[in-house]
Each structure stands twice: as structure tokens, then as C-alpha cells.
Amino acid sequence: MKINFREAKSIITKSNIPSVDFVINPYTGCQHRCIYCYAEFMIRFTGHKGEKWGEFLDIKKYDFDKIKPRKYNGKTLLLSSVTDPYLPLEKKYQNTRKILEKLVETEAELSILTKSKLVTRDIDLFQQYKNIKVGISISTLNDSFAKTIERGASKPSDRISALKEISEAGIDTYTFISPYFPEITDFKELITQTKEFTHEYMFENLNFRPHNVPRILQVIKENFPQHLPVYEELRKDRSYWESVEVAIRDFCKKEKLEYKIEFHHGGFSKT
Ligand code: SF4
């Protein structure tokens, strides 16, 4: 992992994600190295052309005193969108913690999203916020498959334990079942194992992009060859996702859960 220190012009930036006003990315790059990562396009915009996602990390250097918490009142903030706020190197550099310390007085709705158990370190700060929710994203309960698809992230069971601890500390939580891997993601079991301490569920399907298709198909071929035809068929027939949505909706209604489905139809994009 190549570590760089780079001055950042800003640390809280306007978002083009629907329903999110600002995003906060304490680092450029990501140590989790998910095979499906949608943030790899950042390579082009951050001076890392020719490098591989997951092999560099820029520690943003910023005067955190410039953060004005009240400026975001009434807005929605997401930490993070193109990295994970609780990367292993966050332990050492603490950019996320420094940002959270400065934002405490905000009345914005702050959403934290991670795949790391390190998130529990900041419970003391979360408890000082008026409007915060903390979520984990998770695709599978299978440790070995998780290690294959999200190489640097915490084990699924550790993510779930972290969420439980956060909820027990009195903080609103959500479970983001994402990305949904056809035939592999057992969303009912994920819900069963998290519903006692999850206030809201969100679902997102696996999105294929030109850069991730070969990696995903290779991993499915090696680990679940019996499901390969389904993945290949998804290129032509989008109805699979509709049937998954119906199943999720029916289950969530039956269980009386708060939920949002954010499936991108088709699951393929040329962009
Ligand atoms: S955690 Fe997010 S940004 Fe990091 S590699 Fe995985 S998908 Fe990409």
C-alpha cells in the first residue's frame, strides 16, 4: 500500500447522490479492495492514473478547524461515499475521528456507512450528535466469500456485532444489504440476524461496470460455478432483479420493517 499525504481543498463536498446533500471522504483510495467497487473511477480524478485501486491511500491533510458544523443544519451528510471512514489506517491517522469531533454541534442528518468494526471506537462521539444514524453494509454471512469479495473489510460477524454494540449505546442504526449477489445473498437470514438492533434496512443490487465484470464473473466461477449462468443471463434479462425486489418487499412487509430498495434496474451500466 502506497501512502501519500495530500492537501485537500475541502473535506465536505456537495453530493450528486439522490437524497444526500454532502459527502465526507476522509481518504482518497480504499483498503477494503472490494471486487465490485464502484468508486474506482476516482483513480482518474485524483492523479492516480495507472495505479490500482486498493494499492494506494491518500491521507487528506486539512485544517479541520475550518469545518463549520452549523453550516449543514437541515442537510443530509454521508460519511463516506467513495472510501470507508473506518479503514485499518484510520486507527493511525484518525481523519474520520477528527472530522466527527468538529461536526458534533451540527443539526444535519449524519449517516455513517462502513464495513469495519473499528466504527465502535467512535461511539462516544456518536452519542453527542442530535441526528445521526450508523450503518454497516453487508452482502453475505459467509466469512470466506466475504474475504474474497471485500478483501480488507471486517468479517460479517464482526460488522454485525459492531452494529449491535452501537444500537445498545442508544444510536440509530441501519443495515445496508449491498451489494445483493444473485443466488448468494441470503437477505432473510441477514435480517433475522440483525433485526433486533437495526432500525432501518436498505437494499442495493450488484451493479456491473466494465471494470468489474471480469472480476465478478471469475469469482463466481471459482466459488459458485452453479450460479454462473444466472450472472451471465443478467446481461440480457433484467427480470431477475424485479423478482428479488418483490421478494424483499413481501418479506419486509410481513416483518413490519422500515426499508428502502435502491435497485438500479438492469444492474449493468456502460458508464
Ligand atoms: S469499501 Fe466501498 S470504496 Fe472501499 S473498496 Fe469497498 S466498495 Fe470500494
Q: How distant, in Å, are the alpha carbons of 87, 125, 165 from that of 121?
A: 12, 9, 11
CA distances from 76 to 27, 126, 146, 198 (A): 20, 16, 30, 20
- Residue 208 above 70 pLDDT? yes
Sequence-distant contacts of 6-13: CB under 8 A, at least 24 apart: 6/58, 6/59, 6/60, 6/61, 7/60, 7/61, 7/62, 8/60, 8/61, 8/62, 10/62, 11/60, 11/62, 11/64, 11/67, 11/99, 12/67, 12/72, 12/77, 12/99
Between the CA of 252 and the centroid of ligand 1 the distance, in Å, is 27
Answer whether 0.85 is exceeded by the pTM: yes
The C-alpha atoms of residue 234 and residue 182 are separated, in whole angstroms, by: 9
Closest residue by CA, ligand 1 atom 7: 37
Closest CA to 5 of 83, 93, 65: 93
Ligand 1 pocket list (CB less than 6 A) = 30, 32-34, 37, 39, 82-84, 115
pLDDT of 267 reads 45
Q: Please give the pLDDT value at position 268.
A: 42
Q: Could you report the per-residue pLDDT of 156-191, keeping only the tens digit for each?
A: 999 999 999 999 999 999 999 999 999 999 999 999
Q: Which fold has domain 2-261?
A: pyruvate-formate lyase- activating enzyme (3.80.30)
Q: For the chain, what are the domain ranges?
A: 2-261
Report how far residue 90's alpha carbon sits from residue 3's, in angstroms, rounded to the nearest whole number. Answer: 12
- The percentage of the chain sitting over the pLDDT mark of 90, rounded to a whole number, equals 87
Q: Is it the case that residue 240 has pLDDT exceeding 90?
A: yes
How far is the C-alpha of 35 from the C-alpha of 204, rounded, in Å? 16
Computed over every residue of the chain, the mean pLDDT equals: 94
| Atom of ligand 1 minimally distant from the CA of 83 | 3
Residue of 17, 84, 116 with the most ligand 1 atoms within 8 Å of its CB, for mutation: 84
